[in-house]
Amino acid sequence: MNPIHLRADGVSVLLSFRSGEAEIVHWGADLGAHVPDLELLTDPVPHSALDVPVIAGVVPQPSSGWLGRPGLRGSRIDEDGRPGRDFSPALRVVAAEADGETARIVQRDASAGLEVATRLRLHPSGLLEAASSVTNTGATPYQVDELAIQLPVPADAGELLDLTGRWCRENHPQRQAIRRGTWVRTGRHGRTGHDSSLLVAAGTPGFGNRSGAVWAAHFAWSGDHEQFLDALADGRQMIGAAELLGSGEVVLAPGEAYETPALYAAWSDRGLDGVTERFHRWFRARPQHVEVDGGRPRPVVLNTWEAVYFDHRIEPLVELAAAAAELGVERFVLDDGWFRGRRDDRAGLGDWHVDEGLWPDGLTPLIEAVTSRGMEFGLWVEPEMVNLDSDVAREHPDWIAGPDARSHDEGGRLPVEWRHQQVIDLVNPDAWQYVYDRIDALLRENDIAYLKWDQNRDLREHGHDGRPSVHAQTLAVYRLFAALKEAHPRVEIESCSSGGARIDLGVLAHTDRVWASDCNDALERQTIQRWTQAVLPPELVGAHVGPTHSHTTGRVHDIGFRVLTALFGHFGIEWDIRAASEHERAVLRKGIELYKRFRGLIHSGVRVNADLVEPALALHGIVAQDRGEALFTAVMHRTPVAEMPGRVRLPGLDPDRVYRVVPLLPTAEDFPRTTEGDSASPFVQHRGPGWFDEGLTATGRFLDAVGVTLPILRPEQALLLHAAAE
On whether the CB atoms of residues 150 and 69 are closer than 8 A, the answer is: yes
Query: What CA–CA distance (Å, rounded) separates 570 from 602?
Result: 9
Quick one: pLDDT at residue 679? 53
More confident residue, 489 or 1: 489
- As to burial, measured by CB atoms within 10 angstroms (0-12 exposed, 13-18 middle, 19+ buried), residue 615 is exposed
Radius of gyration from C-alpha coordinates of the chain: 27
Quick one: pLDDT at residue 534? 98
Query: What CA–CA distance (Å, rounded) separates 125 from 120?
Result: 14
Residues ≥6 apart with Cβ < 8 Å to 361: none
Residues forming beta bridges with residue 660, ordered by sequence position: 697, 724
- Section 369-376 average pLDDT: 98
Q: 337, 335, 370: which is closest to 354 by C-alpha? A: 337
On whether the CB atoms of residues 386 and 400 are closer than 8 A, the answer is: yes
- Section 523-540 average pLDDT: 98
Task: Determine if residue 625 is left, alpha or beta; phi over 0 gives left, psi from -120 to 50 gives alpha, anything else beta.
Answer: alpha
On whether the CB atoms of residues 221 and 238 are closer than 8 A, the answer is: no
Does 677 score more than 80 pLDDT? no
- As to burial, measured by CB atoms within 10 angstroms (0-12 exposed, 13-18 middle, 19+ buried), residue 687 is exposed
Does 615 score more than 70 pLDDT? yes
CA distances from 342 to 224, 378, 412, 437, 448 (A): 31, 18, 26, 20, 20
Query: What CA–CA distance (Å, rounded) separates 277 from 213?
Result: 14
Q: Is 150 in a helix, a strand, or coil?
A: strand
Catalytic one of 224, 355, 454, 512: 454
Please report which helix (H) or strand (E) contains residue 438, including its range: helix 429-445
Cβ atoms within 10 A of the Cβ of 253, count? Answer: 9
| 344 catalytically annotated | no
Query: What CA–CA distance (Å, rounded) separates 11 from 450?
Result: 38
Number of H helices, E strands in the chain: 12, 40
Does 685 score more than 50 pLDDT? yes
Share of the chain above pLDDT 90, in %: 91
- Report residue 277: phi and psi, to 5°: -60, -40
Does 108 score more than 60 pLDDT? yes
Quick one: pLDDT at residue 684? 87
pLDDT in tens, 323-371: 999 999 999 999 999 999 999 999 999 999 999 999 999 999 999 999 9
On whether the CB atoms of residues 696 and 660 are closer than 8 A, the answer is: yes
Instruction: Give 297's DSSP letter.
Output: P
On whether the CB atoms of residues 98 and 4 are closer than 8 A, the answer is: yes
pLDDT in tens, 63-82: 999 999 999 999 999 988 89
Quick one: pLDDT at residue 717? 96
Quick one: pLDDT at residue 671? 64
On whether the CB atoms of residues 218 and 529 are closer than 8 A, the answer is: no
Quick one: pLDDT at residue 296? 80
Cβ atoms within 10 A of the Cβ of 462, count? Answer: 27
Does 668 score more than 80 pLDDT? no
Q: 188, 197, 195: which is closest to 224 by C-alpha? A: 188
- As to burial, measured by CB atoms within 10 angstroms (0-12 exposed, 13-18 middle, 19+ buried), residue 269 is middle
Does 688 score more than 70 pLDDT? yes
Query: What CA–CA distance (Å, rounded) separates 396 from 431?
Result: 9
pLDDT in tens, 691-718: 998 999 999 999 999 999 999 999 999 9
Does 40 score more than 80 pLDDT? no
pLDDT band at 649 (very low <50, low <70, confident <90, very high): very high
Does 292 score more than 80 pLDDT? no
**Residue type, position 724, single letter:** A
Query: What CA–CA distance (Å, rounded) separates 546 from 307?
Result: 9
pLDDT band at 293 (very low <50, low <70, confident <90, very high): low
More confident residue, 511 or 290: 511
Share of the chain above pLDDT 70, in %: 98
Residues ≥6 apart with Cβ < 8 Å to 202: 153, 157, 159, 160, 161, 178, 214, 215, 216, 229, 237, 239
Query: What CA–CA distance (Å, rounded) separates 134 from 114?
Result: 7
On whether the CB atoms of residues 384 and 424 are closer than 8 A, the answer is: yes
pLDDT band at 674 (very low <50, low <70, confident <90, very high): very low
**Residue type, position 129, single letter:** E
CA distances from 603 to 402, 511, 598 (A): 42, 17, 9
Within 13 Å, how many C-alpha atoms sit on residue 661's CB side?
27
Does 581 score more than 70 pLDDT? yes
| 430 catalytically annotated | no
On whether the CB atoms of residues 116 and 133 are closer than 8 A, the answer is: yes
Does 680 score more than 80 pLDDT? no
Q: Is 617 in a helix, a strand, or coil?
A: strand
Handedness of CA 416, 346, 350, 394 (dihedral sign): positive
Which of 28-32, 170-174, 290-294, 298-302 shows the lowest per-residue confidence on average (mean pLDDT)? Answer: 290-294
Query: What CA–CA distance (Å, rounded) separates 153 from 544?
Result: 38
What is the chain's length?
Answer: 726
Handedness of CA 349, 353, 354, 356 (dihedral sign): negative
Tell me the whole-structure pTM to 2 decimals: 0.97
Does 676 score more than 60 pLDDT? no
Which of 4-13, 283-292, 513-522 shows the lowest per-residue confidence on average (mean pLDDT)? Answer: 283-292
Does 113 score more than 60 pLDDT? yes
Does 244 score more than 80 pLDDT? yes
pLDDT band at 579 (very low <50, low <70, confident <90, very high): very high
Does 46 score more than 80 pLDDT? yes
Does 289 score more than 90 pLDDT? no
- Section 521-526 average pLDDT: 98
On whether the CB atoms of residues 114 and 224 are closer than 8 A, the answer is: no
Query: E strands of 563-628, at which residues?
Result: 570-573, 606-609, 617-623
Residues ≥6 apart with Cβ < 8 Å to 702: none
The domains located in the chain, with CATH, are 4-285 (2.70.98.60), 287-515 (3.20.20.70), 608-725 (2.60.40.1180)
pLDDT band at 291 (very low <50, low <70, confident <90, very high): low
Q: Is 299 in a helix, a strand, or coil?
A: coil
Q: 292, 192, 241: which is closest to 492 by C-alpha? A: 292
Q: What is the pLDDT of the chain when averaged over all its residues?
A: 95
On whether the CB atoms of residues 631 and 720 are closer than 8 A, the answer is: yes
Does 439 score more than 50 pLDDT? yes
Catalytic one of 518, 521, 654, 670: 518
